[in-house]
Structure 1
Amino acid sequence: MTALIGGLLATLGAFCYALSSVAIVKSARSAEGRGNDVLVSVLMTAAMSGGLWLFIGPPLPGADLAALIGIGYFVCAGILGNVLGRLTLFRSVELNGAIETGLIRRLIPVFAAVLAVLLLGEVITPVTVVAFLLVTAGVLIMMMRSFGRSGLLSAFSQSANPDQRKGRALALGSAASYGGSFVARKLAMQTMPDPLLGAFIGALTGLGWFGASALRTGRLCAGLAGMRLPSPWQLLAAGSMSIGQIVVFFALQLADVATVAIIASVEMFFAAWLAGHIFKTEKPPGRRFYIASLLAGAGVVLLAVSPMLR
C-alpha cells in the first residue's frame, strides 16, 4: 500500500512540474515575465515546506552523526534540484518550449536508476524494466513527432539554431541534476526520514547559493532594487513546482528511486496536454500523442500495481 501511495504522489508531482513548465512559457511571453522566476520558485518552496513542517512536521532530531549526514545529503539535493536543476529547466523552457524540454528531461529515470543502483543498492526488477520500456516507447513516439524528419541526433546538430541547441543542452543538464537529486534525497531520508524538513533545507540551500552568488558578483543591491512583484504566471509556476517537489519527497520516502523517476516521466504528457489544449502555448499534439500517452500510462499503472504482484 505504501508503494501505491508513493506512485500516486509521484504522478501528482509529475502533473505539478508539467503545470509549472507551461506557466514558465506564459511568464516568459508576458511583458513582466523575466528576471526572478527561479528565485520566486525557491522562496515559495521554502515558505510552503517550512510552514507545513512547523504545523505537521515531527520534532527536530538530535544533533547526532546520522542527522548531520542526512542534512548533508539534503543540502546536496538542494544544490542539484533547487539550483542547478531549476536554473537549467527555466532557461531551457524559455528557449525551447515546454514540450521539447519535457521530452529531453525524460532521461531523468536513466540518471536516477543508474545512480540508485550504484549508491543505494536498489535492484531493478523485471516489472520495473517492462514499465520503463513502456514509458520509453511513449517518449520515442513523442520524439518522432517533436523532431519530425530531422531525427533525434540532428536535434543537437548544427542545423538547429544556437538557442535551440543551448536549450536542449540545458534540458539534458537539468535531467542529470534532477536524477542526482532524487538519489540524494533518498540517501538523506535513510538517516533523517522527514520529507518536509528535507524540502525546507533544500530550499534554504538554494537561497543561500543565490545570495552568495549575488554577493560575490556585487549584484545583490542591484538585484534587490530591480526585483518586481511576481506576475500571476510566475506565482503559478513557482507554486506548482514547489508542490511538485514536496510531494516527490514524500513519494521517495514510500517508493524506490527508479519507480518515482519513471512515473515522473509522464510529466511530458501532462505538459503536452496542458500546453496544447488548456493554455494554448504550443500546437496541440496529434494522434501520436494519445498512443504514446496510453503506453506511458500502462507503464505507470504497472508500476503502481507491481507491489501486489510480488
Structure 2
Amino acid sequence: MSGQGFALLAALFYGMAGVTIAKGRSTARGDNGVFLSVLVTACMSGGLWRLQGQTDASDLLASDALIPVAAFIAAGMFSMVMGRTTMYRATEQIGPVATSLLRRLTPVFALPIAFLILAEVPTWGTVLGAALVICAILIHIGRPTLVSKGAVDAGWAMGVASAVFYALSYALRSYGLDRIPDAAMGTFIGALAGLLWMQGAAALGPKPRARLHRLYVDQGRWHWLTAITLSGGQLCQFFALKSTSVVVVATLGSLEVLFTAFLGHALLGRTRIGQARIWLPAGLAAIGTALLML
C-alpha cells in the first residue's frame, strides 16, 4: 500500500475513534480509556515489530541510533500522552466532529515545524490546502451549539493543543524514520515511553492508588474499540510517513472529518453530531486534501 493509502486508512480509523470516545464517555469512571489505548498501541506495534520489523533490539544500542530513538520517544510523548489526552478531553467537551475539524489544523502547524526540523519546503498547493482547512474550521466555530460557554472554550483550547502536539509528533517521527526506517519499532518505542510516563506520573503524584485506578478502570467495549482504532491509525500514520511527506500525511487526514460525520450519524444520531453544519467545512477540507493529491 502507498503512503497516501496508509494515510487515508489512518483517517478512517481516527474518524471511528472520535465517535467511540463520545460513546464511551457515558460509562467512563476514569480516563475514558486513554491509558488503555496507549497499552493496545504498544502491544500491536511491538508484535508487528517482532514479526516483520527491519531492526533488531541490539541495533538500538549503537551510537548512531541514539538521536533517532530520542526522536521516537519525544514523538510518543507528544502523540500518545499529550496529543491523545487533549483529543479525548476535546471530544468529550465539543463532540467528535468539531474535534476532528480542529485536528485538521495539524498540517497548518506542521508546515513551519517540518520546515524547521526537516527542511521540507511546502508547495503552493499545500499552502492553499492549509488555507482551506483554516476556512473550514472558522466556518464551523462561527456557529457553536453547546450551551456551556466554559465547556466550549475549554474544548476548543484542547482541540487546538491536540493539533499542535500531533504536528510535533509527525515531524519527530519522520526525522526518526529517515534514520531508522522501521515504523513498527518507532511506534512501539513511543507507546512504551507513554506508558512509563503515565504510570510514573500517577504513582509519584498525590493519591497514587486512586490515580493508578483511574488509568486501569475503563475497559468497556467502547473503550476497547477506541483503543484498537486509535492504535491502527497510529501504525498507519507511521507507515505513511515512510514514503510521503509530513504535510501530505497530516493534510490527508482531512477526510477524517467526513468519516466522523458519517459514522457519528450512524452511532450517535443526527442531533448529537450536528450534521447540518458539517458539510461545507468538510467539503472545504476535502478540497484541500485533493490539492495534495495532484
The two structures, once aligned, show a CA RMSD in angstroms of 2.4
* CA distance in 1: counterparts of 2:268 and 2:11, whole angstroms: 17
- Aligned partner of residue 114 in structure 2, secondary structure: helix
Deviation at 1:216, TM superposition (A): 1.3
Q: Does 1:17 align with 2:21?
A: no
Q: Is the 8 A contact 2:75 2:172 kept in 1?
A: yes
* CA distance in 1: counterparts of 2:179 and 2:144, whole angstroms: 44
Deviations 1:259-308 (A, max 9, x none): 1111113322221222124442724512x64444444334323423x3xx
1:301 to 280, 290, 294: 290
Q: Does 1:198 align with 2:186?
A: yes
Deviations 1:194-238 (A, max 9, x none): 110010001001001111101211544444556436000001111
Q: Does 1:65 align with 2:53?
A: no
Q: Is the 8 A contact 1:103 1:143 kept in 2?
A: no
Identity %: 35
Q: Is the 8 A contact 1:273 1:284 kept in 2?
A: no
Rate the CA distance shift 1:184–1:59 in 2: closer, same or farther, 3 A.
Answer: closer
Equivalent residue, structure 2, for 1:39: 35
Rate the CA distance shift 1:28–1:278 in 2: closer, same or farther, 3 A.
Answer: closer
Rate the CA distance shift 1:232–1:162 in 2: closer, same or farther, 3 A.
Answer: same
Rate the CA distance shift 1:162–1:291 in 2: closer, same or farther, 3 A.
Answer: closer
* CA distance in 1: counterparts of 2:32 and 2:290, whole angstroms: 38
Unaligned runs of 5+ residues in structure 2 are: none
User: TM (normalized to structure 1)?
Assistant: 0.85
* CA distance in 1: counterparts of 2:49 and 2:76, whole angstroms: 17
* CA distance in 2: counterparts of 1:221 and 1:176, whole angstroms: 32
- Aligned partner of residue 255 in structure 1, secondary structure: coil
Deviation at 1:117, TM superposition (A): 1.0
1:164 to 146, 152, 166: 152
- Aligned partner of residue 58 in structure 1, secondary structure: coil
* CA distance in 2: counterparts of 1:62 and 1:86, whole angstroms: 26
Deviation at 1:41, TM superposition (A): 0.5
Equivalent residue, structure 2, for 1:116: 114
* CA distance in 2: counterparts of 1:224 and 1:111, whole angstroms: 33
* CA distance in 2: counterparts of 1:99 and 1:290, whole angstroms: 11
Q: How does 1:90-239 map to 2 (within 5 A)?
A: 90-144=88-142, 146-147=143-144, 161-224=149-212, 227-228=216-217, 230-239=219-228
Deviations 1:233-269 (A, max 9, x none): 0011111011001100111111111111111133222
Deviations 1:149-177 (A, max 9, x none): xxxxxx9xxx9622221111111111110
Q: Is the 8 A contact 2:10 2:253 kept in 1?
A: yes
Deviation at 1:94, TM superposition (A): 1.1
- Aligned partner of residue 98 in structure 2, secondary structure: helix
* CA distance in 2: counterparts of 1:107 and 1:225, whole angstroms: 34
Unaligned runs of 5+ residues in structure 1 are: 149-154
Q: Does 1:276 align with 2:265?
A: yes
* CA distance in 2: counterparts of 1:84 and 1:53, whole angstroms: 24
Rate the CA distance shift 1:54–1:110 in 2: closer, same or farther, 3 A.
Answer: same
Equivalent residue, structure 2, for 1:285: 275
Deviation at 1:33, TM superposition (A): 5.6
Rate the CA distance shift 1:188–1:283 in 2: closer, same or farther, 3 A.
Answer: closer
* CA distance in 2: counterparts of 1:9 and 1:167, whole angstroms: 29
Equivalent residue, structure 2, for 1:27: 24
Q: Is the 8 A contact 1:24 1:93 kept in 2?
A: yes
- Aligned partner of residue 104 in structure 2, secondary structure: helix
User: TM (normalized to structure 2)?
Assistant: 0.89
Q: Is the 8 A contact 2:102 2:137 kept in 1?
A: no
Rate the CA distance shift 1:140–1:39 in 2: closer, same or farther, 3 A.
Answer: same
Equivalent residue, structure 1, for 2:251: 262
Q: Is the 8 A contact 2:31 2:218 kept in 1?
A: no
Rate the CA distance shift 1:117–1:292 in 2: closer, same or farther, 3 A.
Answer: same
* CA distance in 2: counterparts of 1:97 and 1:33, whole angstroms: 19
